[in-house]
Amino acid sequence: MKVLIQKLPVPEFIVELIDELENHGFAGYVVGGAVRDMLLGKEPEDWDIATDASPSDVMKIFPRVIPTGIKHGTVSVLTHNRIVEVTQFRGDNQHAGSITDDLKHRDFTINALAYNPSRHQLVDPWNGLEDLEKGIIRAVENPEERFSEDPLRILRAIRLAASFKFRIEEKTLKTIPDFALRLRNVSIERIRDEFLKILETNDPSGSIESCRKLKILEVILPEILEGYGMRQNRYHVYDVYWHTLKTVDFIPQNSYLRWVGLLHDVGKPKTRQIIKGVCHFYGHAKVSAEIATEIMQRWRFSNAEIDKAQKLIANHMLHNFKSWKPSTFRRLIIRVGKENIYDLLILWKADRLAHGTETKKKIEEDFRTLKKKISRTLETFQVFSVKDLAIGGKEVMEIMGVPPGPIVGEVLHRLLEEVIQNPEKNNPKDLKALVAKIKDIYEKPHS
């Protein structure tokens, strides 16, 4: 076992926790990503501890412990307002092993590191330190074995490479395409969470392109692949696929919005038409929203996430906003929801930058104009649904002389239409007069 003596900045609450394990005669190490991050000079997000103590030992030693994953030998220790996962060394055949056995079950050499703060010992059986210095993602021992134990590791390799600007070692890289199909055996929730982390790195397009080259995209997101090599028109420099990837790059580092960006034109392949030698994608926003919904259901996104994506994608075509009437802006905000409208602008700007045909200056200028129009609309118009009208169903029923029923909703919608056109009419007097007028029309005998 290769052990180096080195001092790493382990925070006091972790040092204390490991001391406590040692005082009871057990071993304790910081393991995995936390060691890697300390060596990279980054603050680890989470701290994982490996020990030879069993979960029940750990529960006896510490006063506040939550049995989060007893089956996998994991408990969560609450200490100094932090939660630390403490896991018994993984071994073979249900038997707890040594720290080296534990590290053997980890994915990449840079993650197969352990550190004991009281002895300042860095345990590094597979030269993870060297790979960390060289910037290499390398499977522990045999890539085939590592990827067949858990195919999600192929996505982890791509994510880690992108977040650290590392490269994937040759043999590890060459093995990935052979295991891509096995992602079908991995739960979609795990794939989704890892893929969203990929989108949050500094190189989403490079990582998605790696997924394509390594035959991963065709397994997890074949819909995106359909745009590969699909030429567009004079408004676009790139094919549908590259336009989509560039859009994702232009969206700020937010995994959800980048995901929406990735799907914003997914309906283009289905709507492509050549008319007089020119390529058109009529109705693609709506079709994209439909396909995005199917994909997000398959990926088990929440209904709220799907609903928002649908609204953003279906309404992303704002290109001729300069000729819009004020009521068109009001309608847009009602369709998209005022809580989503600024996210729509982010998507719109990224999409436009990714056309590759106009200067950044021109797009920035249009973006400011559009944003001003939207904020002015929001300042002067507050009627986003029938609930915001100056009169309600009760008044409508009184004037119409009807009981509760579908007519009431129809009339309220008719009032909303009127108010979108003429906001000044949103007062009880004007709206009641309008209801009276509608009543007359209703009551006129049909001839």
Taking CB under 6 A as the rule, does residue 114 contact ligand ATP? no
Centre a 10 Å sphere on the Cβ of residue 150 and count the other Cβ atoms it contains: 16
- Which of Mg ion, ligand ATP, none does 153 bind, CB closer than 5 to 8 A by kind? ligand ATP
- Which of Mg ion, ligand ATP, none does 107 bind, CB closer than 5 to 8 A by kind? ligand ATP
- Which of ligand ATP, Mg ion, none does 261 bind, CB closer than 5 to 8 A by kind? none
**Nearer residue to Mg ion within complex by CB, 48 or 169:** 48
* # residues near ligand ATP by CB under 6 A: 12
Torsions phi, psi for 186 (to 5 deg):
-100, 140
The two tokens of residue 217 are 């995209």
Taking CB under 6 A as the rule, does residue 125 contact ligand ATP? no
Contacts of 389 (CB under 8 A, 6+ apart): 383, 412, 415, 416, 419, 426, 431
Judged by CB under 6 A, the stretch of 149-157, 206-214, 219-227, 307-315 that binds ligand ATP is: 149-157
**Nearer residue to Mg ion within complex by CB, 33 or 128:** 33
Confirm if 281 and 271 have CB atoms less than 8 A apart. Answer: yes
Taking CB under 6 A as the rule, does residue 117 contact ligand ATP? no
Taking CB under 6 A as the rule, does residue 43 contact ligand ATP? no
Nearest residue to 419 via CA among 332, 283, 327: 327
Least distance in angstroms from the C-beta of 252 to Mg ion: 23
Contacts of 242-247 with CB under 8 Å at 24 or more apart are: 243/354, 243/355, 243/356, 244/354, 245/204, 245/205, 245/208, 245/209, 246/205, 246/353, 246/354, 246/356, 247/347, 247/350, 247/351, 247/353, 247/354
- Which of Mg ion, ligand ATP, none does 87 bind, CB closer than 5 to 8 A by kind? none
Centre a 10 Å sphere on the Cβ of residue 23 and count the other Cβ atoms it contains: 9
- Which of Mg ion, ligand ATP, none does 138 bind, CB closer than 5 to 8 A by kind? none
The whole-angstrom separation of Cα 286 and Cα 309 is 12
- Which of ligand ATP, Mg ion, none does 109 bind, CB closer than 5 to 8 A by kind? none
Q: Please name the amino acid found at residue 316.
A: H
Q: By the criterion CB under 5 A, which residues form the site for Mg ion? A: 33, 46
- Chain centroid to Cα 342, Å, comes to 17
User: Which residue has 């232009």 as its token pair?
Assistant: 250
Taking CB under 6 A as the rule, does residue 124 contact ligand ATP? no
**Nearer residue to ligand ATP within complex by CB, 18 or 285:** 18
Q: Please name the amino acid found at residue 16.
A: E
Centre a 10 Å sphere on the Cβ of residue 130 and count the other Cβ atoms it contains: 13
**What is the length of the chain?**
447
**Nearer residue to ligand ATP within complex by CB, 90 or 349:** 90
The residue with its CB nearest to ligand ATP is 33
**Nearer residue to ligand ATP within complex by CB, 85 or 366:** 85
- DSSP codes of every residue in 11-65: -HHHHHHHHHHHHTT--EEEETHHHHHHHTT---SS-EEEESS-HHHHHHHSSSE
**Nearer residue to ligand ATP within complex by CB, 182 or 236:** 182
User: Which residue has 């190490």 as its token pair?
Assistant: 29
The whole-angstrom separation of Cα 370 and Cα 213 is 38
- DSSP-derived pairing of the beta strands 121-123 and 3-5: antiparallel
The whole-angstrom separation of Cα 390 and Cα 392 is 7
Taking CB under 6 A as the rule, does residue 366 contact ligand ATP? no
**Residue from 21, 39, 129, 152 binding ligand ATP (CB under 6 A):** 152
Taking CB under 6 A as the rule, does residue 48 contact ligand ATP? yes
- Which of ligand ATP, Mg ion, none does 123 bind, CB closer than 5 to 8 A by kind? none
**Nearer residue to Mg ion within complex by CB, 44 or 227:** 44
**Residue from 16, 19, 46, 189 binding ligand ATP (CB under 6 A):** 46
Judged by CB under 6 A, the stretch of 75-83, 151-159, 218-226, 301-309 that binds ligand ATP is: 151-159
Site for ligand ATP, residues 90 to 109, rule: CB under 6 A: 106-107
**Residue from 20, 22, 144, 150 binding ligand ATP (CB under 6 A):** 150
The whole-angstrom separation of Cα 166 and Cα 133 is 10
**Nearer residue to ligand ATP within complex by CB, 112 or 391:** 112
Least distance in angstroms from the C-beta of 45 to Mg ion: 6
Taking CB under 6 A as the rule, does residue 347 contact ligand ATP? no
**Nearer residue to ligand ATP within complex by CB, 46 or 170:** 46
Residues that bind ligand ATP (CB under 6 A): 32-33, 45-46, 48, 106-107, 111, 150, 152-153, 156
